[in-house]
Amino acid sequence: MTQPTIYIDGDACPVRDETYRVAGRLGLPVVVVGNGSRGVRPPPLPNARIVVVGEGADAADDWIVEHIAAGDVCVTSDIPLASRCLAKSAKAVAPNGRVWDSSNIGGALASREIGRSLREAGIATGGPPPLDKAARSRFLSALDTLVQASLRGR
């Protein structure tokens, strides 16, 4: 089996450095994809690269889905993108360490739509909690677990 590639939904990803650390330790390729609106600095790894896509609501997501393959891992807080990656037999993890899989993605998509409807109706739904040290630790553990499973062919 080929090495998994880690794709980062990059413009607003708060765990790029943690991802680089896992990828560097395991010698895995990393692709950071974004529209360049946040000025992502080049990754500090020889096996990492940045892909800048055009403007558009889903341009980065579409690029990732076009290139991701079974066993690859996507780091994203975007639930629809995670779902699209799972449909291609890839793995997905959120920056807070939540691993997306077939048992939880449907409920997450439904909750997202409910939240969107509430916001459209003018009801404040709050946002995600800030990423603290514990969440970063959960992310590191989850990413390592997913990558190790991909390396073993699961």
What's the pTM? 0.86
pLDDT at res. 113: 67
* Per-residue three-class SS string for the chain: CCCCCEEEECCCCCCHHHHHHHHHHHCCCEEEEECCCCCCCCCCCCCEEEEECCCCCCHHHHHHHHHCCCCCEEECCCHHHHHHHHHCCCEEECCCCCEECCCCHHHHHHHHHHHHHHHHCCCCCCCCCCCCHHHHHHHHHHHHHHHHHHHCCC
Residue from 50, 86, 55, 52 nearest 70 by CA: 86
Question: What CATH class does 6-151 carry?
Answer: alpha beta
Write down the domain spans for the chain. Answer: 6-151
Residues in the chain: 154
pLDDT at res. 114: 66
pLDDT at res. 37: 62
* End-to-end C-alpha distance for the chain, whole angstroms: 10
Q: Residue-wise pLDDT tens for the chain (154 aa)? A: 578 999 999 877 899 999 999 999 999 999 999 887 666 777 778 889 999 998 877 899 999 999 999 999 999 989 999 999 999 999 999 999 999 998 878 667 667 666 666 676 777 766 677 889 999 999 999 999 999 999 988 7
pLDDT at res. 55: 80
